[in-house]
């Protein structure tokens, strides 16, 4: 970017952009991918600096030119071995105090945003931005607790968490969701205004129908007329691969279909215990070329995740030319149309099976073309441009106005904010 980069602000001095997140995994994940692309963009296309504060096995600071990574020693989250819970807000605030970022972006809504808010109280010029990456009141509160306290109490707790989100995010200078139905509509209903929409990027060039590999299909014992269904993601209750498996097992056996589940998670053992030789689980794939080969060799992408905030795997599947069978909820509403797939009720494996059969009986060549056209709408260049020429300048402008505006309430009230 040039010296006229709007994110530089009015003084023309390069800024330090900080990302502060719990949602960091060394084996992948949407937030990690987003942050690595942002770092690359900052270093290659701007004069700015990047500060990344993440959980890890030990306290550590790595400074590499304009890129600094601060790791805060944190324990693993029970049942989620690839993620850690960073609870040491004091250590986070010490890192913020040491490196003095100009803007802090938070990708989750738990304790870490309060460390950023506390830092901003001591340094009023610091702008705060928030990304609504996970629909946590439903995914992590209402749905899992419903099994233990009942749906009515769980729903009430979910509403309480949404109210908390409203109170939290109204303290930020800029807020964005990844899609309209994957967060923006909900945030606006909570009184947060404005809410920008900035989708994630997808390396669509890595995927395509031309990645189809007949060797993959032959290894699975598939004839050209036998359909291969595929799912990519964690094998846990949040992603609902169990519904995908139930839908697959409802398909007529004489269809000759097979299902590939790419990923790891606590439901893997339950699925394996079914003893269904038609279900293949190759595990988590680090090699993107290998993933592209699996996607390109499949015929239909299937997902039952009702709370996608963006749907990276959906777009990667579409870039591979796959029609998508999913559920009419979250970001899938924004990603999948009748021209590119079918959506059914949440948790309804029978409806999902019917939609799979409908796709298999339709004009898949037309669906393939429409899917590829849809995927081309997303790129990391577009995402970064939206951040650095629209969202961040708006956050700086709002913070500048807040810093110079006279107090609208009594100081005692401000102290409690």
CATH number at residue 156: 3.40.50.2000
Give burial (CB, 10 Å; 0-12/13-18/19+) of 148. exposed
Burial (0-12, 13-18, 19+ Cβ within 10 Å), 390: middle
Which of 56, 63, 57, 49 lies closest to 16, judged by CA?
A: 49
Nearest to 120 by CA among 137, 143, 103: 103
Distance CA 417, CA 410 (A): 11
Q: State whether 210 and 126 are in the same domain.
A: no
For residues 222 and 363, membership in a common domain is answered with yes
Sign of the CA dihedral with 324 first, then 325, 328, and 330 last? negative
Sheet holding 228-232, edge to edge: 279-280, 258-262, 228-232, 300-302, 324-327, 341-344
Instruction: Give the whole-angstrom CA distance, residue 270 versus residue 243.
Output: 13
**Distance between CA atoms of residues 160 and 165, nearest Å:** 9
Q: What is the pLDDT of residues 248-285, one digit of tens each?
A: 999 999 999 999 999 999 999 999 999 999 999 999 88
Mean pLDDT across the stretch 149-153? 92
Note whether 47 and 112 are same-domain residues: yes
Across residues 62-71, what is the average pLDDT? 98
Q: Are residues 48 and 190 in the same domain?
A: yes
> What secondary structure does DSSP assign to 316-383, as a single string?
HHHHTT--EEEESSTTHHHH--TTTEEEE-TT-HHHHHHHHHHHHHS-HHHHHHHHHHHHTT--HHHH
Q: Who wins on pLDDT, 159 or 417?
A: 159
Structural domain including 16 reads 6-201+379-416
CB atoms under 10 Å from CB of 266, counted, come to 13
Asked whether residue 409 carries a pLDDT value surpassing 50, the answer given is no
Considering the domain architecture, whether residues 10 and 129 belong to the same structural domain is answered as yes
Q: List the single range of 8-12, 87-91, 126-130, 169-173 with lowest mean pLDDT.
A: 8-12
215 with 289, same domain? yes
Kindly state whether residue 1 falls inside one of the protein's structural domains.
Answer: no
Q: Are residues 334 and 409 in the same domain?
A: no
* DSSP reduced 3-state for 101: coil
Both 239 and 299 in a single domain? yes
Indicate the number of domains in the chain: 2
Q: Are 165 and 109 in contact (CB under 8 A)?
A: yes
Alpha helices per DSSP H over 81-134: 89-99, 112-122
**100 and 227, same domain (yes or no):** no
Q: Do residue 209 and residue 348 come from a single domain?
A: yes
Pairing state between β 103-106 and 279-280:
unpaired
**Do 82 and 156 reside in the same domain of the chain?**
yes
pLDDT band at 10 (very low <50, low <70, confident <90, very high): low
Inter-residue contact 259 to 279 (CB < 8 Å): yes
Instruction: Tell whether 74 and 60 lie within a shared domain.
Output: yes
């Amino acid at each position: 970017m040039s010296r006229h980069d709007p994110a530089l602000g009015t003084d023309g001095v390069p800024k330090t952009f900080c990302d502060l997140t719990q949602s960091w995994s060394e084996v992948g994940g949407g937030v990690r991918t987003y942050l690595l692309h942002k770092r690359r963009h900052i270093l290659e296309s701007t004069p700015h600096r990047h500060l990344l504060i993440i959980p890890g096995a030990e306290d550590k600071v790595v400074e590499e030119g304009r890129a600094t990574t601060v790791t805060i020693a944190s324990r693993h989250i029970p049942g989620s071995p690839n993620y850690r819970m960073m609870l040491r807000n004091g250590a986070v605030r010490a890192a913020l105090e040491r490196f003095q970022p100009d803007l802090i972006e938070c990708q989750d809504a738990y304790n870490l945003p309060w460390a950023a808010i506390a830092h901003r109280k001591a340094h009023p010029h610091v702008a705060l931005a928030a990304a609504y990456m996970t629909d946590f009141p439903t995914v992590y509160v209402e749905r899992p607790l419903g099994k233990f306290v009942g749906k009515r109490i769980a729903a009430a707790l979910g509403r309480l968490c949404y109210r908390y989100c409203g109170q939290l995010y109204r303290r930020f200078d800029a807020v964005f969701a990844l899609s309209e139905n994957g967060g923006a509509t909900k945030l606006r209903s909570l009184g947060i205004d404005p809410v920008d929409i900035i989708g994630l990027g997808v390396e669509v060039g890595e995927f395509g129908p031309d990645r189809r590999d007949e060797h993959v299909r032959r290894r699975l014992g598939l004839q050209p007329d036998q359909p291969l269904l595929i799912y990519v993601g964690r094998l846990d209750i949040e992603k609902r691969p169990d519904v995908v498996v139930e839908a697959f097992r409802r398909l007529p056996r004489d269809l000759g279909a097979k299902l590939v589940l790419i990923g790891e998670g606590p439901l893997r053992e339950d699925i394996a215990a079914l003893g269904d030789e038609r279900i293949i689980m190759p595990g988590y794939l680090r090699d993107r070329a290998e993933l592209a080969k699996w996607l390109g060799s499949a015929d239909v992408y299937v997902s039952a995740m009702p709370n996608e905030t963006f749907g990276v795997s959906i777009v990667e599947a579409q870039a591979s030319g796959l029609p998508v069978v999913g559920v009419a909820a979250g970001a899938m509403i924004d990603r999948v149309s009748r021209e590119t797939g079918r959506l059914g009720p949440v948790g309804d494996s029978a409806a999902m099976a019917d939609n799979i059969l409908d796709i298999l009986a339709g004009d898949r060549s037309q669906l393939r073309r429409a899917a590829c056209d849809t995927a081309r709408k997303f790129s990391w260049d577009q995402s970064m441009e939206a951040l650095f020429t629209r969202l961040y300048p708006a956050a700086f402008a709002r913070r500048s106005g807040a810093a110079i505006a006279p107090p609208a309430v009594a100081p005692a009230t401000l102290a409690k904010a």
